[in-house]
């Protein structure tokens, strides 16, 4: 079954947007007043390059600490093949969103794919043989080029989840999972949010039985006060780790996100597109919350 990368990343970013910026763009995080943040309805734009409908993955309006408005767009690129026109598409998204809102726009691209590449972070508009008209830059996050060890003690839920897409070898898989579990224990996120983060992580890094045995042996070498907590995670993963249990946990997390988006005034159709829940299910959640 194919993985819906867009939906998984959208749910993660909507729930942990502040933490995402804090972990990966700390200077920007420090400059923003995120108490003023609100997610905007995702606007559909005609893609002038491909002649299709495209959607910026997350659009959030907030303020700088100077109280000036700013809009952030975060676009996910999960394709495993090189796309020569990607920088141009980022430029078009930027222009379209700026023209609609007429506010400063900060564009961010997340590259999440297998293998390591050095993606461009600019698009140059020029008249051949005459002059450069303008140079457009955007921020980029290439997960496969990042060392997971930098985030193994971050206690940041966004960083913990995204370690699963970072650069690690096959023999490091158990260590990455163990680092993830230890962070989850420290963060105390609550059942629904833990299920969301764990579901995201296991989409990209799920241990086989031999690796679970390795993790159990490593956990037994940890201090007693956290050993028991760590050992609960692989067991619960594979007792609940029957697909039925994982899906149930993820549904609870999606329902929690849906409640928050209903409070922000999003339409049932938009919430359905974001979470994957049916509009009927979202209507039931809305009625229950009245």
* Predicted confidence (pLDDT) per residue in 5-24, tens digit: 788 888 899 999 999 999 99
Q: What is the DSSP letter of 199?
A: H
DSSP line for 249-285 = HHHHHHHHHHHHHHHTT--HHHHHHHH---HHHHHHH
Phi/psi at 22 (5° precision):
-60, -40
Residue 276 lies in a domain: yes
Higher pLDDT, 191 or 102: 102
What pLDDT is attached to residue 28? 94
Instruction: Select from 110, 127, 145 the last residue of a domain.
Output: 145
User: Is 105 a domain residue?
Assistant: yes
Residues 64-73 as b/e (b if ≥16 CB within 10 A, e otherwise) read: eeeeeebbbb
How many domains in the chain? 2
Please check whether residues 18 and 133 belong to one and the same domain: yes
Answer whether residue 22 is part of any domain. yes
User: Which range marks the domain in which residue 20 is found?
Assistant: 5-145
**Tens-digit pLDDT profile for residues 47-64:** 544 555 555 678 899 999
Is residue 141 domain-shared with residue 243, that is, in the same domain?
no
Residues 136 and 244 grouped into a single domain: no
69, 33 contact by CB (below 8 A): no
Q: Are residues 9 and 125 in the same domain?
A: yes
103 is a domain residue? yes
Q: Are residues 13 and 124 in the same domain?
A: yes
Backbone angles phi, psi at 67, to 5 degrees: 80, 5
User: Is residue 211 in some structural domain?
Assistant: no
Among 126, 145, 164, where does a domain finish? 145
Cβ atoms within 10 Å, residue 196: 26
Name the token pair of 20. 């995402």
Residues 120 and 17 in one domain: yes
Domain assignment present for 67: yes
Which of 102, 124, 145 corresponds to the end of one domain?
145
Coil/strand/helix, residue 6: helix
Average pLDDT rounded to a whole number, residues 129-135:
78
Is the residue at 225 inside a domain? no
Give domain status of residue 128, yes or no. yes
């Amino acid at each position: 079954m194919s993985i819906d990368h867009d939906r998984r990343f959208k749910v993660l970013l909507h729930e942990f947007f502040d933490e995402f910026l804090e972990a990966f763009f700390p200077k920007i995080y420090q400059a923003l007043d995120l108490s003023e943040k609100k997610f905007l309805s995702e606007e559909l734009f005609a893609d002038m390059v491909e002649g299709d409908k495209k959607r910026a993955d997350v659009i959030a309006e907030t303020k700088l600490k100077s109280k000036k408005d700013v809009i952030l767009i975060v676009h996910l690129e999960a394709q495993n093949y090189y796309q020569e026109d990607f920088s141009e598409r980022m430029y078009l998204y930027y222009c379209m969103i700026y023209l609609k809102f007429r506010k400063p726009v900060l564009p961010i691209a997340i590259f999440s794919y297998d293998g390591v590449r050095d993606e461009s972070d600019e698009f140059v508009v020029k008249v051949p043989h005459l002059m450069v008209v303008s140079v457009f830059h955007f921020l980029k996050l290439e997960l496969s080029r990042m060392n997971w060890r930098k985030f193994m003690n971050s206690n940041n839920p966004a960083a913990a989840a995204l370690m699963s897409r970072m650069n690690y070898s096959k023999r490091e898989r158990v260590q990455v999972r163990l680092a993830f579990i230890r962070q989850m224990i420290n963060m105390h996120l609550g059942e629904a949010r833990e299920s969301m983060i764990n579901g995201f992580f296991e989409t990209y890094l799920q241990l086989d039985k031999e690796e679970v045995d390795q993790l159990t042996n490593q956990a037994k070498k940890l201090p007693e006060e956290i050993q028991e907590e760590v050992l609960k995670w692989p067991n619960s993963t594979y007792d609940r780790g029957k697909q039925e249990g994982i899906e149930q946990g993820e549904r609870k997390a999606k329902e929690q996100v849906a409640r928050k988006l209903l409070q922000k005034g999003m339409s049932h159709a938009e919430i359905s597109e974001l979470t994957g829940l049916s509009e009927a299910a979202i209507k039931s959640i809305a009625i229950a919350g009245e």
